[in-house]
Amino acid sequence: MRYWILTGCSCLLAASLSAQARPDPAFELASLREDLRLLQQHVGELALTVEQLGRDNAARQTKAGQGYATLEQLNQAVAEMNRSLQAALADQKHEVLVQVAGQIEKLAHQTQAAIDAVAKNQATRPAVQNAFNENYPKEGISYTVQTGDTLAVIAKKTGGKMAEIINANKITDPSHIRVGQTLFIPQGK
């Protein structure tokens, strides 16, 4: 911009100097017209530049207006996110509770089945003997219960009778003998 103004001024200065050197009015008029044409061209270019700057400024203002949110808009967005988060947490909590309830119900069924099985086993066990008699031989041997022994196995190993072993040792539950336990095995004559 400065270049054009300086160029226009230098042309005017040159025209003035020329006019002083030569008093030709046609030449002076032609120089002034050329200076005027250059100034008009320069003013046109400046007008275009100002117009472009105005468009750029308007575009930036529009973009700036679109790119920034107000504090109220931010607060609304945060509140909406909190509502969404709370709803998602409530849904997740409900799903977990449903799963836990299902697992508890399954465990309850398994526990009931186990209780029923124990009750059934108790019903099929032989009755516990509470009355013992002294009708067995008083002579016999001692036997230490080994792993895998039952009263029937012990009676077979030792040649004793199961009823006499139960009476002699006052065993109330024949299915409950333990490894290491010492039993008296009556021996018949």
| DSSP labels, 63-87 | HHHHH---HHHHHHHHHHHHHHHHH
So what's the pLDDT on residue 4?
A: 47
Fold of 140-186: Membrane-bound Lytic Murein Transglycosylase D; Chain A (3.10.350)
**What's the mean per-residue pLDDT of the chain?**
83
Confidence band for 6, pLDDT divided at 50, 70 and 90: very low
**What percentage of the chain carries pLDDT values higher than 90?**
50
Q: What is the value of pTM for the model shown?
A: 0.34
Q: Each residue of 124-176: pLDDT tens digit? A: 666 555 678 888 888 999 999 999 999 999 999 999 999 899 989 999 888 88
Angle 9-18-45 (CA atoms, 0-180°, nearest 5)? 25
The pair of three-digit structure tokens given for residue 173, joined into one six-digit string: 């539950």
- For residue 21, pLDDT beyond 80: no
The pair of three-digit structure tokens given for residue 111, joined into one six-digit string: 């526990």
